[in-house]
Amino acid sequence: MKPVLCYIGLGSNLGNPTANLHSAIAQLSGVEGIELRGVSRFYVSKPMGPQDQPDYVNAVVGIQTRLAAHDLLQILFTVERAHGRVRDASQRWGARTLDLDLLLYGDAVIATADLHVPHPGICERSFVLLPLADLAPHQVFPDGRKLQDCLAALACDDLQTLG
């Protein structure tokens, strides 16, 4: 299998979110078959869903991998669990120590029971698009939409860069 350029969204709002993201990035970069290609700036955003939780710290990493998409997804779950994440289907958009989402897997479109790529809602989330634009400002999604067009359609004044 030839290498695939992928983008992973990271988010955290429990414990020390910035440290959680740095730790997750370090753990991902240490996985056999994953080569870290870039890390966006960190952004602070209001939570989606219930507002009675702390703000999130979000980022995107670019990686190159020969791993199959579902194998990569399992690694993301492993890294989340290592950071205390417990996936609970009844707690959608709740607070979490770490959330890792496979945003893009090359130009693949994947729709299975446990994985949807590109990530659903990617073009409606400023906390995904702004960090992704740090790494791939000219990204064109598999459906032909341009990242810059999606950004232009959003009010991105709800984010602050960290540091």
pLDDT in tens, 5-24: 999 999 999 999 999 999 99
- 86 vs 137, higher pLDDT: 137
Tell me the C-alpha distance between 13 and 3, whole Å: 32
Strands 99-105 and 110-111: unpaired
State the CATH architecture for 4-161: 2-Layer Sandwich (3.30)
Q: How far apart are CA 108 and CA 142, in angstroms?
A: 7
Q: Cα 133 vs. chain centroid, distance in angstroms?
A: 12
Kind plus residue range of the DSSP H or E element containing 117 = strand 116-117
Closest alpha carbon to 45 in 158, 147, 146: 158
Gyration radius of the chain over CA positions: 15
Catalytically active residues are 85, 96, 99, 101
- Asked whether the bond before 137 is cis by omega within 30 degrees of 0, the reply is no
83-116 pLDDT, tens digit each: 886 766 555 666 788 999 999 999 999 999 999 9
| Element housing 27 (H / E) | helix 17-29
Domain ranges, ordered by start, for the chain: 4-161
Q: Which two tokens stand for residue 80?
A: 């989340």
Chain centre distance of CA 82: 17
So what's the pLDDT on residue 85? 67
The model's pTM is 0.93
Dist CA 107 CA 136 (whole Å): 13
pLDDT over 80 at 45, yes or no: yes
**Alpha-helix residue ranges (DSSP H) falling in 83-158:** 126-135, 147-152
